[in-house]
Every structure is written in structure tokens, then in C-alpha cells.
Amino acid sequence: MQASITCRLATPDDALKMCELGQLLNSVHHEARPDIYAAATADFSRDLPHWSGVFEKPGHVVFLASVADQAVAFITASLSASAGPLMQPQNVVRIGSVCVAEPFWGKGIGRALIQRVKDWAIEQDAQDLRLTVWSFNERAARLYAEFGFEPRAFEMGMRLS
């Protein structure tokens, strides 16, 4: 019998576990873009200022997923208002990071976390849910497309050195 997945609001006490889980994000991104992303490290506390910082910003939220009381995934998101003379005013929730420990891939945990953020966005009266995904991250892009996300814009970049 498979243990049930629980999702809860994370607290600053979870930041070190996020650092540990986040090494997967470092590895995937560093492997594809070592010119931009740092390598994963055994001393994952290096990332504590980054992950702790999400708890200090208004409108930011983190949800943590656990299986049998073991933290196995997290998602970060933030709420902002877009306004301006050329844009319709709306509240937007942007997903920042989605991280699921590799042994738990394909078990619906990423989908459960995205659904939790979607529900939170609706509770915040948001009209749009957005995220950015690198083109090399095909697995994540497939998950997002299956969930209903659509391509809207393409970010382009150029190395200058």
C-alpha cells in the first residue's frame, strides 16, 4: 500500500529541508546551463539565505509535500498585481520553484502541489497563474502542459562574455 501524500503550508523551520531537496534543482539546471547555475553541493546549507528569504516576502507562499512524514517536495509561489495603461489590471500568482525528490517522480506529487497553488491563487482572487520553464526541462514542461499551462511568450537571451 502506497503512503498518502500530504501538502501543507511550509514554515521557516522547513527552509533547511528545502535546501536539501533543492539540490536536485541545482543539479538539473547546472547540468544544462553551468554558465548560469551553480553546482549542487554536499553542504546544502549554502542555500539557506535563498530559501529562507521566501518566507520574509509579503505575498509569497511555500507548500511542502510529505509522504509518511518525510518531506519529499515543495513549491514556491508569489502574488502580485499587474497594472499599467496598456494592461488589464489583474492579480497574478507566479510559481517560482517546483521540486520533487527523484524517487517520488511520477506519483502525482508535482500535480498535487500545483493544484494546491492554484487553489491558493483562487483564494487570493488571482485571475492568472504563471510560471517559467527552461526549454531543456522537457519533463517539467510536459507536466505543466498536462496541467493546462500554455506557452505565451518566449524569453530570449544572449551571453555577453
Dump pLDDT digits (tens) for 19-30: 999 999 999 999
Cα distances (Å, whole numbers) of residue 126 to 35, 39, 107, 121 = 35, 35, 28, 5
- Residue 153 covered by a domain: no
Q: Residue 14: is its pLDDT beyond 80?
A: yes
Is residue 38 in a domain?
Answer: yes
Residue 141 domain-assigned (yes or no): yes
pLDDT score at 87? 86
Q: For residue 160, tell me if it sits in a domain.
A: no
Domain that includes residue 120, residue range: 5-147
CATH number at residue 111: 3.40.630.30
* Domain assignment present for 102: yes
Question: pLDDT per residue over 100-143, tens digit each?
Answer: 999 999 999 999 999 999 999 999 999 999 999 999 999 999 99
Cα 33–55–123 angle (5° rounding)?
100
In a domain, residue 62? The reply is yes
Mean pLDDT of 83-93: 90
158 belongs to a structural domain: no
Instruction: Tell me the average pLDDT across 34-51.
Output: 92
End-to-end CA distance of the chain: 53
Q: Quick check: is 97 in a domain?
A: yes
- Tell me how many domains the chain contains: 1
